[in-house]
Amino acid sequence: MKWTDTLDIAIELAERHPDVDPEKINFVDLMRWTMELPGFADDEKRCGERILEAIQMAWIEEAR
């Protein structure tokens, strides 16, 4: 998985953190949790605010 796999990341995060409200997650935790996902293999330097926003929005949609 890479940073651009926002939907796959969102699905994994929703499954691993079912009690977390994705609308209230901070980007530091979001980035850390993403990098801790099994199968995630991308450089943290390739991540930025736009990517984290896209992951968060996908997670919000997945939670609905």
Residue 9 pLDDT > 90:
yes
SS3 59: helix
Residue 17 pLDDT > 90:
yes
In the chain, the percentage of residues whose pLDDT exceeds 70 is: 100
CB distance 22 to 52 below 8 Å = no
Q: Which domains does the chain have, with CATH numbers?
A: 6-63 (1.10.10.600)
SS3 34: helix
Place of tokens 């926003």: 53
- Which amino acid belongs to residue 35? M
Q: What is the mean pLDDT of residues 9-14?
A: 97
Q: What is the mean pLDDT of residues 45-58?
A: 96
Taking all residues of the chain, what is their mean pLDDT, rounded to a whole number? 96
- Which amino acid belongs to residue 48? G
pTM exceeding 0.75: yes
